[in-house]
Amino acid sequence: MPKLNGAGLLRGLIGTAGLLVVLEAAGRLGAWDTERLPLVSTVLLRAGELLADPEFLVSAWSSLTTWALALALTIAIAVPAGLLLGMVRPAEVAVRPLIEFLRPIPSVALIPLVILMFSETTNMRITVAVYAALWPVLVNTIYGVRDVDPLAKETLRSFGFGPASVAYRVVLPGAAPFIATGIRLAASVAIVLVVTSELIAGGIEGIGVFITIAASGNRLDLMIGATILVGLFGILVNALLVAGENRLFRWHRARTEGAT
């Protein structure tokens, strides 16, 4: 994870602003029919207005809670499972074919099936998101557990600590940086799947539902405005998690960088 320093951030902002200016200019010069596809400035203005629009906020809150629940459930399932599979080699060997089979199945392809299984839309959305978000956390946890130095474990064992203590005091903290990376990836995946399931399966609330309704009213400004807000939320979550990782796992960074 490259750390964004001041200069990098500035360049990124300049690049983004430059693209927006070019698009705005092209729109104003008549490159496309702005009645159909609105100007950049219109979309940005609409995105800002949406943040104060009660109807949108209800939908956004619905998506946000679905996402948070999905991520929490993902962590609650994938981290313990990953710890177990990482530590118990025979168990990992036994379920690996299953993992390799299930992992490439696109979560989206499961949506029709899950719709039939759940009558309640929130449960359906959570299930779809968890299914997709599970894999990066599970695989990273297994990898992280494997990466824990055998000598680190032996040291604690030599002081007479049992397997449970070794798992809690050495394996879990040692694997934590990898688990955190998995969770960060899962957070992005879960956003995508929550919105996708809302778009495909519909419902009463949710950003995906809001976008669908805007589309049926031919309101491209609202559609794109809402989409931009989802994207910004994704960036914000990622930045917060990266900052958290940099803070918590300074030791890991120092170690991997010092190991050259």
Question: Where along the sequence are the contacts to another protein (CB under 8 A)?
Answer: 149, 151-152, 154-161, 165, 169-170, 173-174, 176, 249, 251-252, 254-255, 258
Q: Strands, DSSP E only, in the chain?
A: none
Q: Which residue has the tokens 């779809």?
A: 128
> How far is 74 from 132, CA to CA, in rounded Å?
9
Q: Report in angstroms how near the CB of residue 238 gets to another protein at its nearest.
A: 23
Please tell me the number of Cα atoms within 13 Å of 175 on its side-chain side. 32
124, 118 contact by CB (below 8 A) = yes
24, 40 contact by CB (below 8 A) = yes
Comparing C-alpha atoms, which of 174, 178, 192 is closest to residue 233? Answer: 192
179, 144 contact by CB (below 8 A) = yes
Buried b (16+ CB within 10 A) or exposed e, 231-256: eebeeebbeebbeebeeebeebeeee
- Tell me the Ramachandran region of residue 53: left when phi exceeds 0, alpha when psi lies from -120 to 50, beta otherwise: beta
Please tell me the number of Cα atoms within 13 Å of 208 on its side-chain side. 20
Q: Report in angstroms how near the CB of residue 173 gets to another protein at its nearest.
A: 5
Q: Which residue has the tokens 């993902």?
A: 74
User: Rg of the Cα trace of the chain?
Assistant: 22
- In the bound state with another protein, the residue whose beta carbon lies nearer, of 231 and 244, is 244
